[in-house]
């Protein structure tokens, strides 16, 4: 299915882009500020966290070679994109229920609609992060291009999780509530406010079981140049092992449940 998914994505790229554009325009439609909330909301959220943790608790502190403000900002930008898309992808088949009965449309590409519709705010936040890093005296270079690799890693992880959650949630509505709880707890179980180095070495392997830890650490490495992704072979293999398993399980769940989608949408 994975090769078929890639072929379908290329074949339907025009439709996917059009759906993503419409999805982007519909977010916060009807509010006075409209799409501006797509950018303002995460900025305000990160700003509050920055004020609390930097000014309130850790003023002047550094973490893993980064000022704590940048450490927090890089982790939150990665997390917000992941958590926001996991929640939205979980309901994507129901949101686009009018496409379920269209024989010539592959529902498996719908996660890409959500990934693309939320991409512009993510790019803006990344641009602000890079500007803040430069102003803080951090030299950007070729290592910064790793952001592209880690974004593709995150997209792959979200597609695998999305096939599972979006298919299952049609038959078990509680899945959406479960995903919400997971993202709430995941924020604190991912090294966003803390560092893996603070965990006793004998237990650090446990953080690798959370694939988002790999992404968050990678976003930070893309700033500092501390490591290239090929210099983390064990972590990379573990991440891709988990991601490929999720893609395989997602393929199985989607195929088994797809014939019954029309009955519940």
Over residues 128-149, the pLDDT tens digits come to 899 888 988 888 999 999 999 9
Over residues 184-207, the pLDDT tens digits come to 999 999 999 888 888 888 888 889
Has residue 28 got a pLDDT over 70?
no
Over residues 43-68, the pLDDT tens digits come to 787 778 777 776 666 555 566 678 88
- DSSP-derived 3-state class of residue 27: coil
- DSSP-derived 3-state class of residue 67: strand
Query: How many domains does the chain contain in total?
Result: 1
Query: By residue range, what is the domain housing residue 171?
Result: 2-264
Burial grade of 36 (CB within 10 A; 0-12, 13-18, 19 or more)? exposed
pTM to 2 decimal places: 0.90
């Amino acid at each position: 299915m994975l090769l078929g998914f890639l072929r379908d994505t290329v074949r339907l790229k025009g439709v996917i882009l059009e759906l993503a554009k419409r999805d982007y325009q519909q977010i916060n439609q009807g509010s006075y500020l409209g799409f501006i909330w797509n950018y303002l909301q995460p900025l305000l959220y990160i700003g509050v966290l920055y004020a609390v943790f930097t000014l309130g608790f850790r003023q002047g502190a550094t973490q893993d070679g980064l000022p704590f403000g940048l450490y927090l900002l890089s982790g939150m930008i990665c997390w917000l994109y992941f958590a926001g898309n996991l929640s939205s992808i979980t309901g994507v088949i129901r949101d686009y229920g009018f496409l379920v009965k269209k024989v010539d449309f592959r529902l498996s590409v719908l996660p890409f609609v959500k990934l693309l519709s939320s991409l512009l705010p993510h790019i803006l936040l990344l641009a602000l992060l890079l500007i803040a890093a430069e102003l803080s005296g951090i030299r950007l270079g070729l290592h910064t291009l790793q952001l592209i690799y880690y974004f593709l890693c995150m997209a792959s992880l979200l597609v695998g999780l999305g096939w599972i959650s979006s298919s299952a949630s049609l038959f078990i509505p509680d899945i959406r509530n479960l995903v919400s709880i997971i993202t709430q707890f995941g924020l604190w179980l991912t090294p966003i406010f803390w560092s893996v180095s603070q965990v006793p070495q004998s237990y650090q392997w446990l953080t690798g079981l959370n694939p988002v830890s790999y992404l968050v650490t990678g976003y930070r490495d893309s700033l500092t140049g501390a490591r290239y992704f090929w210099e983390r072979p064990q972590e990379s293999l573990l991440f891709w092992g988990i991601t490929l398993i999720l893609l395989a399980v997602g393929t199985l769940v989607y195929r088994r449940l797809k014939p019954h989608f029309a009955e519940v949408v």
